[in-house]
Amino acid sequence: MNTKSFTIYYRRGITGLLFLFVSLFLFSSCEKKEISPDESSSETPTQSFLIKVESVGEVSSHTTTAKSQSRPIYSFSPEQTIDRVDVIIIKRALTAEIVYKGTFINWSDTENKVSVPYVNGEKRGRLREVVLEGNSLLEEGVEYIAYGVGFHSGTYGDYEPFKGLSLGDKFPNSEMVTVPDGDGVAEIFAGAQSFYVENGEIIANPEDEEISEIPAIRLRRQVAGLMGYYTCIPAVIGEKAVKSIRLVTPKVNRSIIFGGFRSLYDPNDFSKLKVINGFNPRTDYDTRFYGSETNDAFVVANDIELGKWFPGGEDGMPLDANGDGFLDGEDTNWKVNEELEEAGIIRVLQGSVFNSCYWVPISITQEEADAGIPTFQLQLVGKNDEILTYWNIEVRQAEEFSETRTLVLPGESGIPEVITEENPATPITFNIARNNLYSMGAKNHEQSYGEDEPIDLSTSKDLVIDVNPEWKELETIYFD
């Protein structure tokens, strides 16, 4: 297999000015009551902690709908659209007894104020304060674990966290989800945090600066993100017209386990940034790599059908309106794919095309690395599904070739098994880790395109994917 690649040089930076907003009025279901001097001494004791769902972007108002459940990624700063968060607190002892269980509906609906935006340095997301009182109060001398999941209702086969469990029940395992046949991967968050009580107050990890003063459980994405943004696409290869752009991969996992959180180990152990928590691989290949005679790969998301961006050709084929041999901004027939335009949430550079999806993390093997099997191959495909040209995609960031990697797999009785092992990654054969964004081209904002940098496929010889750990925004991406 001949190797072609596409080079991107970048520097990562924290975005300039972040809006400063933390709400102090966090969702009390009770009306405020004036307390007389005689009543103040008998005030009901309470304990509190925060639920924080980390994302990168926010909008002023959003109501989650069924249509947005599996919404694609439209920029480096995707808004958070999950509509439900479930949290339990269990005793960390062998009993693993549930002492608290809470469900929060319409999480991202800014009209209902179930949660509010927050900013902490480069981290952004939504949070809610939870207040415990009465029989819900945690005891001193006991270690607890708070464990939560945030997701879109109706996804992953109508998944419901902690289903059938009540206070006092035992929960010694971890939550898992599986992508049903025919469904796409939806955004989903999870996390855990140890708690204990001191002088009547909940305390989290004092070594974790973010939660040392205000205890919190943080939920982070459990899936990866993939994004492709292209322009100047050859209209013809040889004498054959190009119909679509296709991204393929040799491996697809169907299931995800929510475990191996660094918050339960060393919060400053950032090797846990590269966690692979996918398992249960598919075997029903639906496409092939260039040069293969039989199917040995999977299509990532869907093909970018160029006729939907450059309409006017026969039989759904794209039309090179100015006849210069490239599909780009010089073609006056260019338009945003109607399927994305109808959603009203994406703006792209004139003459460019775009596609994205969430992805279950995958780990590569030493055998795959030795054989040079690419994790991703980008193809230009003709009218009869023939591969006209291709690029094997490379990654050149040093952290992707660290000596070790972290795998999280189901262990006995569902308890996650966290494995640290040698990392066999190479420039074209690399892992896909949770909460990392893998992008080809820079799409910085959903509603604007002034800073966008789609990849020019007319001049590209080497193709390198950029890896954005924990969805931190990129300040600039350079193309060579």
Residue by residue, pLDDT tens for the chain (480 residues) are: 444 333 333 333 333 322 323 332 333 333 333 334 444 445 789 999 999 998 853 332 333 333 334 455 654 455 567 999 999 999 988 789 999 999 999 998 878 789 998 887 777 889 999 999 999 999 999 999 999 999 999 999 999 999 999 999 999 889 999 999 989 999 999 999 999 999 999 999 877 888 888 999 999 999 999 989 999 999 999 999 999 999 999 999 999 999 988 666 654 454 456 899 999 999 999 999 999 999 999 999 889 999 999 999 999 999 999 999 999 999 999 999 988 766 555 678 899 999 989 999 999 999 999 999 999 999 999 999 999 999 999 987 767 777 889 999 998 877 889 998 999 999 999 999 999 889 887 655 544 444 568 899 998 777 888 887 767 643 322 222
Q: Is the dihedral of CA 399, 401, 402, 404 positive or negative?
A: positive
Res 264: pLDDT? 66
Same domain, 236 and 272: yes
Reported pTM: 0.84
199, 223, 247: which is the final residue of a domain?
223
Same domain, 199 and 233: no
Rounded Cα–Cα distance for residues 211 and 193 (Å): 10
In a domain, 355, yes or no: yes
- Token pair in block for residue 112: 């209902």
- Domain termination site, one of 171, 200, 223: 223
Q: Containing domain of residue 92, as a range?
A: 17-30+38-223
DSSP state, 367? H
- Number of structural domains (the chain) is 2
Report which of 355, 315, 314, 348 is spatially closest to residue 334, judged by C-alpha positions: 348
Cα–Cα nearest to 233, from 96, 381, 345: 381
Helix (H, G, I), strand (E, B) or coil at 210: helix
CB 210 within 8 A of CB 434: no
- The CA–CA distances, whole Å, from 54 to 150, 346, 348, 370 equal 10, 22, 26, 37
pLDDT at 381: 98
Other Cβ atoms within 10 Å of 172 Cβ, number: 12
CA 107 to chain centroid, in Å, comes to: 17
475 and 338 housed in the same domain = yes
- Is residue 440, in this structure, part of any structural domain at all? yes
User: Are 210 and 154 members of one domain?
Assistant: yes
C-alpha distance from residue 200 to each of 45, 203, 286 (Å) = 8, 9, 58
Judgement on whether residues 159 and 241 belong to the same structural domain of the protein: no
Residues 360 and 386 in one domain: yes
The whole-number pLDDT of residue 342 equals: 62
Residue 4 located in a structural domain: no
Same domain, yes or no: 449 and 335: yes
CB atoms within 10 A of CB 342: 10
Q: Given the DSSP bridges, would you call strands 224-231 and 455-456 parallel, antiparallel or unpaired?
A: parallel
Specify burial of residue 210 (Cβ count, 10 A radius: 0-12, 13-18, 19+). middle
Residue 76 vs residues 34, 73, 80, 150, 273: alpha-carbon distances, Å: 47, 8, 12, 20, 17
H-helix or E-strand spanning residue 341: helix 338-341
Same domain assignment for residues 175 and 151: yes
- Residue keyed to tokens 């790969």: 297
Is 234 found in the same domain as 219? no
Beta-strand relationship, 416-422 and 455-456: unpaired
Which token pair is 245? 């752009």
What is the torsional sign of CA 325, 328, 333, 335? positive
Of 223, 247, 282, the last residue of a domain is 223
What is the rounded CA–CA span in Å between residue 379 and residue 473? 27
| Model pLDDT, residue 266 | 56
Are residues 390 and 247 part of one domain? yes
> Is residue 389 situated within a structural domain?
yes
Residue 104 and residue 113 in contact, taking contact as beta carbons nearer than 8 Å: no
Residues 79 and 114 in one domain: yes
5: in domain? no
Contact 251, 280 (CB under 8 A): no
In a domain, 458, yes or no: yes
Residue 1 domain-assigned? no
My answer on whether 236 and 169 are in the same domain is no
* Structural domain includes residue 151: yes
d(CA 237, CA 394): 23
